Amino acid sequence: MQTSPAAPRQATRPDGPTDPGPVDPTPAKNGRFGLATATALVMGNIIGGGIFMIPAAVAPYGTVSLLAFAVLTVGAIVLALVFGQLARRNPRTGGPYVYAREAFGDFAGFLSAWSYWITTWVSNAALAVAAVGYLDVLVPIHHDIALEITAALAFQWLPALANLAGTRYVGAVQLVSTVLKFIPLLLVSVGGLFFFDPKNLGPFDGSGQGWAGGMTAAAAILLFSYLGVESAAMSAGQVRDPERNVGRASVLGTTGAAVVYLLGTLAVFGSVAHDRLVHSTAPFSDAVNGMFGGSWGGTAIAVAALVSMTGALNGWTLLAAQAPYAAAQDGLFPAAFGKERRGVPTFGVLVSVALASVLTVLNFASGAKHAFDMLVLVTTFTATVPYLLSTAAQLYWLVRGATEKVDHGRLVRDAVLGLGAFAFSLWLLAGAGYAAVYQGVLFLFAGILVYVWMAGRRRD
């Protein structure tokens, strides 16, 4: 996924937020993504590699996690609708960063870009940890931490090298992995329903927190599955007729991914015994082995899962480099993040994969599955920040009643959607847990020093 450079930085009004200047109409005329491609972009980015670990990650909460999945799907679609409305009003590449900066100024824009950037490389660390679990099906390394760490780092650096080679190679890897990722998902999602056994489901409230507490905690982990709902908005500058197609692609892509997720998770829950699923590091492989007996099916699923996760790491590595790109173009990130080589922000790739590698090593000491769970919850916190700022921007324009930003004929509907998306984001933040919020806040606040440095240099 290649984004175009953001518009040059504009001066900040003394009485309000930053004015991003006029919108360049060129992307809307010459954008490379039609509705179908933009929908595939959203669905492909949402269905990454996390789905292959998610059933085991939420199994301890019991079948209440299926209810959480349903509620989360509704919330994700509401969020997609809000992103569509924001993109219709400002169809620039950059998504949450653009909306936050336009409404609330440079600092809010920086926090959104910084937090989203953290989300991308922490997600890569989580995907690498998940890949190790499926590699263990093929090559037993589960009890050797050194081998696990080495494998996780290899899963991160090989896609980084593909990115550094240029966007042509990134696209080739994405094409192959996108096709192959649907094979195991469709096999388990559809075929698994014929092997469904209610006895495998386990308790409704497996965590003992009560159904509300368990559902909230499970939803915080499950949000990782829906990261990417903002993909069309992030690439609005390359979508044809973005005012119309970004919102449609966001909703259609999110809905399509939700169907695959819900069926896949339900099939795994019903085909793998609950006490085994809780400790599984390769739940889809366990499900196929249980369906057909032997280990050949699980091995095939593991290979396909590894291909899918490698593709997801390939795409998200590029996204990790592009997340700070627009902010760097506006002078809010170090200039090195805004430089390209062969269509790829090289410095962003290297810094992002290096940080993900350090985080992987630090979290692996607690075990692969625990590391995955913690990393997923950290991304829940960091992803929620730009979501909150984006929905707040929507509410800001509604409250101001700006004629160029608000469709007064749909004021009530837009207000309900904005408030719903904001409440949904707060709910996810509450479910992340103290440990994840603690790590996430440290990552977030560390960025203030970067902003201070950049702001001070601009004033010189």
Q: Rounded to whole angstroms, how far apart are CA atoms 394 and 418?
A: 6
**Least confident span in 1-10, 178-187, 416-425:** 1-10
Terminal CA-to-CA distance of the chain, rounded, Å?
36
Q: Rounded to whole angstroms, how far apart are CA atoms 445 and 132?
A: 31
**Least confident span in 11-20, 135-144, 198-207:** 11-20
Structure tokens at 55: 């059933």
pLDDT score for 354: 93
| CA contacts within 13 A on the Cβ side of 77 | 12
DSSP state for residue 343 in the 8-state scheme: T
DSSP state for residue 141 in the 8-state scheme: -
Residue 9 lies inside a defined structural domain of this protein? no
pLDDT surpasses 50 at 27:
no
pLDDT single digits (tens) 90-111: 877 778 888 999 899 999 999 9
Residue 139 lies inside a defined structural domain of this protein? yes
Residue 4 lies inside a defined structural domain of this protein? no
Residue 2 lies inside a defined structural domain of this protein? no
434-451: average pLDDT: 84
Residue type, 51: I
How does residue 3 score in pLDDT terms, banded at 50, 70 and 90?
A: very low
Place of tokens 């506006």: 330
Q: Rounded to whole angstroms, how far apart are CA atoms 365 and 350?
A: 24
Q: Rounded to whole angstroms, how far apart are CA atoms 43 and 81?
A: 15
Helix (H) / strand (E) containing 202:
none
Residue 118 lies inside a defined structural domain of this protein? yes
How does residue 365 score in pLDDT terms, banded at 50, 70 and 90?
A: low
Greater confidence, 310 or 238? 310
pLDDT score for 4: 35
pLDDT score for 22: 34
Q: Rounded to whole angstroms, how far apart are CA atoms 412 and 227?
A: 28
CA distances from 191 to 66, 205, 263, 301 (A): 19, 27, 10, 13
Three-point CA angle 16, 19, 22, nearest 5°: 155
pLDDT score for 406: 57
Residues 6 or more apart whose CB falls under 8 angstroms from that of 115 comprise 382, 383, 385, 386, 444, 447
Furthest-apart CA atoms within the chain: distance in Å? 69
CA distances from 408 to 41, 75, 199, 318 (A): 31, 24, 53, 38
pLDDT single digits (tens) 316-355: 787 788 778 878 888 888 888 888 776 678 898 899 999 9
Number of helices (H), then strands (E), in the chain = 19, 0
Which residue segment(s) compose the domain that 32 sits in?
Answer: 26-459
pLDDT score for 20: 36
Place of tokens 């998610």: 54
Greater confidence, 358 or 214? 358
Place of tokens 């991308």: 120
**Least confident span in 26-30, 177-181, 242-246, 268-272:** 26-30
- Plot region of 293 (φ>0 → left; ψ -120 to 50 → alpha; else → beta): left
Residue 322 lies inside a defined structural domain of this protein? yes
Average pLDDT, the chain: 77
pLDDT score for 10: 36
CB 79 within 8 A of CB 424: yes
Residue 7 lies inside a defined structural domain of this protein? no
Domain count, the chain: 1
CB 137 within 8 A of CB 299: yes
pLDDT single digits (tens) 382-410: 888 899 999 999 999 888 875 555 565 67
pLDDT score for 32: 61
pTM, 2 dp: 0.75
At 259, which CATH number?
Answer: 1.20.1740.10
Q: Rounded to whole angstroms, how far apart are CA atoms 300 and 451?
A: 47
pLDDT single digits (tens) 34-67: 777 777 777 777 776 667 778 888 888 888 888 8
pLDDT score for 323: 78
Q: Rounded to whole angstroms, how far apart are CA atoms 354 and 59?
A: 32
How many beta carbons lie within 10 A of that of residue 106, not counting itself? Answer: 21
How does residue 24 score in pLDDT terms, banded at 50, 70 and 90?
A: very low
CB 126 within 8 A of CB 50: yes
pLDDT single digits (tens) 145-197: 788 888 889 989 988 887 787 655 555 555 566 666 676 677 777 877 788 88
For residues 300-336, b (16+ Cβ closer than 10 Å) or e, as one string? bbbbbbbbbbbbbbbbbbbbbbbbbbbbbbbbbbbee
308-319: average pLDDT: 77
pLDDT single digits (tens) 191-207: 777 888 888 887 887 77
CA distances from 207 to 43, 66, 203, 215 (A): 31, 14, 9, 10
Residue 20 lies inside a defined structural domain of this protein? no
pLDDT score for 219: 79
